[in-house]
Amino acid sequence: MLRLEKRPQPSRLWTYLTPVLAVVLTMLCGGLLFSFLGKDPVLAIRTIFWEPLFSEFAFYYRPQLLVKGAPLVLIAIGLSLGFKAGIWNIGAEGQYIIGALCGAGVALAFYPMEAAFIFPLMVLAGGLGGWAWAMIPAFLKVRFGTNEILVSLMLVYVAEQLLASMSLGLLKNPQGFGFPGSRNLQQYPSAHNAELIAGTGMHWGVVAALIAVIFAYVLLNRHMQGFYIRLTGDAPRAARFAGVSPTRLVLFCLGVSGALAGLAGLFEVAGPSGVVSIDFNAGYGFTAIIVAFLGRLHPVGILMAGGLMALTYVGGDIAQSKLGLPKAAIQLFQGMLLFFLLAVDLTTNYRIRLRRKEAS
Amino acid sequence: MDLSAINPTLLLASLMVAATPLLLAAIGELVVERAGVLNLGVEGMMITGAICGFAIAVNTGSPILGLVAAALGGAVLSLLFAALTQYALANQVASGLALTLFGLGLSALIGQGYQGIKPPSFPKADIPLLSDIPFLGGVLFRHDFVVYLAIALTAVVWWVLKYSRIGLVLRAVGENHDAAHALGYKVVRIRVAAICFGGACAGLGGAYISLIRVPQWTEGMTAGIGWIALALVVFASWKPWRAMLGAYLFGGITVLQLNLQAAGVAIPVEYLAMSPYLITIIVLVIMSADKSRAPAALGRSFHASQ
Amino acid sequence: MKLSKLLATAAVALGMATGAMAEDKTKVGFVFVGPIGDGGWTYEHNKGRLAVEQEFGDKVETVFVESVPEGPDAERVMTQMALEGADLIFTTSFGYMDPTINVAAKFPNVKFEHATGYKRADNVSTYSARFYEGRAIQGHIAGKMTKSNIVGYIGSYPIPEVIRGINSAFSHARKANPDVQFKIVWAYTWFDPAKEAEAAKVLIEQGADIILQHTDSTAPQAAAQEAGNVYTFGQASDMAEYGPKPRISSIIDDWAPYYIARTRAVMDGTWTSTDTWDGIGPGMVGIGEISSEVPADVKAEALALKDAIAKGEYHPFTGPLNKQDGSAWLAAGETADDGTLLGMNFYVEGIEGTIPQ
């Protein structure tokens, strides 16, 4: 019989080893899947993991990893603060949409005026929009005790409908021949979140993601609020005795995660995407939840997990076009990776022991 | 505008059909959540059920076998989630999301080659005599048997949860797993069984769409119904009959808005489409004053050594 | 821009490399918005891709990526294809318009073809199909076949493409049957089979005995079959499995001839940037077999209409036609210009209800 025994504290060795183990396991099972589909498994896995980083065209793919990974990291960092404290915001997708709508709304309200203050104002509006959207579950939780998981999830659907309404109505490009979707902010210099150095993929969203990682790291390790967050997550009762106000913590965690998700949406709509359209949200808000867990809710871990997710997206698309792998196989592969990462996580907190049959 | 074009009998009848897949998935998830487990993978299990049912029905020519296969498919997939969350103690939110991703990919792979095929048609069960009752006959008694199955399932789940010992244990596990464990109940085993039941129901709901409601197979055809089912459980405050009411309300809003559109009433469709979610939030707020809140152990992992 | 230069050099270098390596193999890329198994829009584009492979055999290599979100992902996938030596890239969704233009600017030697958009460049063509021509034939058959004089129409989103189809179908249904009425329902989705099924049912319940659809699933056909005496038309693909009843004809997206022609143009070096808006004539819009349920005289009229449109003798939007509010749009004999058609945001006279905004 196998038996689990809780470790007194998480194993350092396994903390570092498990992600590697999970990736190896995924490669093995994924390889089986790919060969089952009639593709060369080694080539397929090489294409997904190696090609974007080191192939002949890596000069293009590496920046793309930043573009794809930045919103994931930015959102996941915000979410991880709450998750650590046991505050579950799973509505980041909605906050991302609202942030984008608010930011783009500001830009389009000023169009075609060119001024230096427009972009900062958009950033402010994006962050505030996401914050406000997250404040709804936060306020309802502290005032009425409603479950924030459910309220924030409900608000995703509301936000999606708002997005459809806006791209078909208020924000529709008046010169777009009646097609849905807004003006392209990439063609509006004052509002464009352009690459800071051409060819690097570095835009303000990437910068913001990096700042967020540092901010979260400092907050969690060097700041009282971070200590409260960790304490509340580990021992809620002790936290209360220590004078932590649960109300303020809920407002803080949801507020920060909402604002960061809103910012991610704003940077995306003003930069890489450019347009508010019906299908603007590409699931970043939900994927970021996975990223947060893959990164073990640790800022640096999240940074790496965001990179890994981005890698499977970029590499997956390359594998589709080069090897003719169906999208479904890539999805399945990503699903496997997550399963394995979640499954082997066990070994950091528990020891697996063989045990002789007991009489019980 | 011509509201007289809306026939209330037919409106209510189609509302019952529209609500069925939602109800099936929601009843399953309700049991899972009552056992203290939050499985966000409903969409993934539904779509897997949809293709399993479709493939088996096409290959065997029997829609009934298809439904059975769908329930099995959903249950098997949910076992993955059970293994992760109950044995490997992984986070339930993340595992559920991963399950949805996995299910969407898996169903698309299985479904290659099933596009553009018409599945064997499903017999309609006009209940003799009853279906001839004016109005009520048309509303209630002229459906396929899955509609009644869903309602029967609701009744059974209600009865089991409320009056049976199994139900009592299930709720105890969902409210306080440590106490339940101390009383000698097999917390993990009960939760795995609940998760399996949820998977089977979700699979059945998916197959209702692919075999009866639409009927055809296309990738991603459940189009978010699994997520609505999740909302529904909350809306119902974890009570089976309220889940049924909610399913009719959620399904009904879609049918009603289409009816109003067809009758020429200019309505803001997006805002109407938001309303079920806003109503759910309001219900949550109202419920907070009430005693019926979420199962206390919802979403928390259990390990005996803790 | 540094990047564009870098990319361009890489592309040129690669173009040379592949040119030297495999002179005879033309690489064609396809970017799809949905899964190839969606049974509708993307499914038909993928059939076009397969037709290209069939036509040119070893001389061509096709690659595709499915379910690509509109936005940065699309841009990346296009760039990736261009980098890997694609000579011609088809981007098959309206939302790919700006990404296509962006990528095309970086790869002047790669040809791009963007479906349903309105922005072009030296190496970017646009193409779209005049589905409204097929709608005219549908409208005619619908007008003749309806007994309740109510025709149901399931729209996706209220955009010019869909509104154009409604107007075309309606004006021809009215010509065939002055008493006909349209009931229009907007599903607000491109793809949600369950919702389409509900929409069809609602329309049937409200008395429609013909259902036209601008959504791609067969859910409405199944609903019609269940209802019994309701007719439908296949959309995007033939949906022949629902014939001869309820499906009595269909509009088929047939991209194969265009894809083959454009690939050949790239091979021959005769490719130029064009704006193609083809209809029944060149075969981009196909009319599926009109089934035995349709009386012979109606079928003959429909086929005559199809021939007239195909030969260019008849334009489905020929005056006299008024707008919904009664104001004049086209004088007798006047035909609509493409600009107005592209941005069509009004109903023609006789349709009830308003376009949601």
- What is the domain range of residue C110? 2-129
d(CA A79, CA A87): 9
Smallest CA–CA distance, residue C285 to chain B, in Å, is 20
In a mutagenesis test of the A interface, which of C63, C68, C73 is the best target, namely the one with the most A β-carbons within 10 Å?
A: C73
Identify the helix (H) or strand (E) that includes residue C346: none
Residue C6 has pLDDT above 60, yes or no: no
Q: Which of C17, C56, C29, C5 is nearest to C110 (CA)?
A: C29
Q: Per-residue pLDDT averaged across C96-119, rounded?
A: 92
Nearest CA in chain C to A329: C66
N residues, chain B: 306
Tell me, rounded to whole angstroms, the distance of Cα B41 from its chain centroid: 12
- Work out the percent of chain C whose per-residue pLDDT is above 70: 93
Task: A86-89: list long-range contacts, CB under 8 Å, 24+ apart.
Answer: A86/A232, A86/A233, A86/A236, A87/A148, A87/A249, A87/A250, A87/A253, A87/A254, A88/A148, A88/A149, A88/A152, A88/B93, A88/B299, A89/A134, A89/A137, A89/A148, A89/A152, A89/A253, A89/A254, A89/A257, A89/A258
Query: C68-105 pLDDT, tens per residue?
Result: 988 889 999 999 999 989 999 999 988 899 899 999 99
Are A311 and A49 in contact, with CB atoms under 8 Å apart?
Answer: yes
Do C113 and C212 lie in one domain? The reply is no
In chain A, what is the greatest distance between 2 CA atoms, to the nearest angstrom? Answer: 80
Domain annotation covers residue C42 = yes
pTM > 0.95: yes or no: no
Domain annotation covers residue B46 = yes
More confident residue, C14 or A183: A183
Q: What is the pLDDT of residue B129?
A: 64
In chain C, what is the greatest distance between 2 CA atoms, to the nearest angstrom? Answer: 67
Q: What is the pLDDT of residue B139?
A: 64
Which chains have at least 3 CB atom pairs separated by less than 8 Å from chain B? A, C
Domain annotation covers residue C354 = no
When mean pLDDT is compared across B267-271, C122-126, C222-226, the lowest value belongs to B267-271
For residue A345, give every residue at least 6 positions away whose Cβ sits within 8 Å of its Cβ, in sequence order, or none: A18, A296, B88, B90
d(CA B9, CA A294): 52
Domain annotation covers residue B43 = yes
Do C213 and C125 lie in one domain? The reply is no
For chain B, list residues whose CB is within 8 angstroms of any CB belonging to chain C: 5-7, 10-11, 14, 18, 21, 108, 111-112, 115-118, 209, 213-216, 218-225, 254-255, 258-259, 261-264, 266, 268-270, 273
Among the partner-chain residues A177, A268, A275, the one whose CB lies closest to the CB of C98 is A275
The CA-based angle B281-B283-B287, given to 5 degrees, is: 120
d(CA A247, CA A268): 32
d(CA B124, CA B65): 16
d(CA C250, CA C122): 36
Domain annotation covers residue C273 = no
- What is the domain range of residue B155? 3-289
Do C104 and C209 lie in one domain? The reply is no
Query: C239-269 pLDDT, tens per residue?
Result: 888 878 889 999 998 999 999 999 999 999 9
Domain count, chain C: 2
Domain annotation covers residue B207 = yes
Do C67 and C48 lie in one domain? The reply is yes
Domain annotation covers residue B294 = no
Domain annotation covers residue C193 = yes
Residue B130 has pLDDT above 90, yes or no: no
Domain annotation covers residue B305 = no
CATH assignment of the domain containing B171? 1.10.3470
Do C115 and C158 lie in one domain? The reply is no
Q: What is the pLDDT of residue B150?
A: 92
Domain annotation covers residue C299 = yes
Backbone torsions φ then ψ of B221, nearest 5 degrees: -70, -15
Domain annotation covers residue B84 = yes
Count of CB atoms situated within 10 Å of the CB of C207: 17
Domain count, chain B: 1
Spell out the domains of chain A, with CATH numbers in brackets. Answer: 1-39+325-360 (no CATH), 54-316 (1.10.3470)
CB contact under 8 A, C217 and B11: no
Do C26 and C74 lie in one domain? The reply is yes
Phi-psi region for residue C185, left (φ > 0), alpha (ψ -120 to 50) or beta?
A: beta
Q: What is the pLDDT of residue C113?
A: 94
Q: How many CA atoms, within 13 angstroms, populate the side-chain half-sphere of residue C183?
A: 31
Count of CB atoms situated within 10 Å of the CB of A357: 6
Q: Which of B14, B13, B285, B280 is nearest to B133 (CA)?
A: B13
Tell me, rounded to whole angstroms, the distance of Cα B34 from its chain centroid: 14
Domain annotation covers residue C170 = yes
Above 0.90 for ipTM, yes or no?
A: no
Do C70 and C187 lie in one domain? The reply is no
pLDDT band at residue C18 under the 50/70/90 scheme: very low
Do C101 and C154 lie in one domain? The reply is no
Domain annotation covers residue B275 = yes
Q: What is the DSSP letter of C149?
A: S
CB contact under 8 A, B102 and A88: no
CATH assignment of the domain containing C44? 3.40.50.2300
Q: Which of residues 39-58 of B touch A (CB under 8 A)?
A: 40
Identify the helix (H) or strand (E) that includes residue C336: none
In a mutagenesis test of the B interface, which of A3, A98, A135, A149 is the best target, namely the one with the most B β-carbons within 10 Å?
A: A149
